[in-house]
Chains A and B, each alone.
Chain A
Amino acid sequence: MEVAWIAVLLLLMAGGAHQPAPASTPAPKPPTRQTTGTVTPPAAASPSATAPLDLDLLEQRLRATRSIGFFTKVTLKNQIDDLLDLFRDYYRGKAKVTMKDLRRRFDLLMMKVLSLLQDEDQELASAIVASREAIWALLADPKAFATLKG
């Protein structure tokens, strides 16, 4: 079950792999925090938010992280699956949601993941923040989304 969740999350994060690789891979930057301690919304994300990911390393870190418990991982997997179903329905013309609604749900889910990680696994949280726009680009592109499995 844990592996399935990681696979789904990695699948979402694979969007970064579709980005053209730069001459040198920049290190993921830490999340920008406001004074309230919350992560800056994606609208204010810097261009570095589309940096590609080292998927192997990320997979190892996701497997190794102890900042998220088993039940929490399964719950997140359920919510990721629900969001993917919603995207699927949207592209089939069956969903009554707009792309703006989907973006809002995506942001909320990312916030949940980051909230769980940021206190005890800040580096992994930073890596996810750095990949957020790449993940969204994958989901928001019907052709790229169609290549996703799960």
Chain B
Amino acid sequence: MNRLAVALARSLVAAALLAVPLLAQQDEEALKKDLTAVIALHGLPCGKVVAVKVQAENDYAATCEDRNKYHVYLNAEGRVVVEKMK
């Protein structure tokens, strides 16, 4: 019984350890997709966001597959602003 409990506990720990990076990866993919849509809604060229750097809360530097880079952030007025970065 003890062995079964230990094995179960180990399995749960292993599953939890595997799940954390998986969830983080899913979050990052969702963020890339979100920023891709935002850039497109602003009518700017991008294609697809391939990398995101978090600069602050609701403030990102997005790199597109066409090598364009954008600063995407939520300003004090509650508007999403997209600025081209050099």
Contacts and interface: CB of A to CB of B under 8 A. Distances in A.
B41 A70 contact: no
B65 interface: no
Interface in A53-74: 68-72, 74
Contacts of B78: 1, 74, 78
Contact of A112 (B30, B41, B72): B41
22 contacts: A69-B34, A69-B37, A71-B35, A71-B58, A71-B72, A71-B74, A71-B80, A72-B34, A72-B37, A74-B74, A74-B80, A75-B37, A75-B38, A75-B41, A75-B42, A75-B80, A76-B41, A78-B78, A78-B79, A78-B80, A79-B41, A112-B41
B31 interface: yes
Given A78-B79, A78-B80, A72 B74 contact: no
Contacts, number: 37
Contacts of A70: 34
Interface in B29-86: 30-31, 33-35, 37-38, 41-42, 58, 72, 74, 78-80
A116 interface: yes
Most buried by A among B33, B37, B72, B74: B37
A72 B37 CA distance: 6
Contacts of B37: 68-69, 71-72, 75, 116
A76 B34 CA distance: 12
Contacts of A79: 41
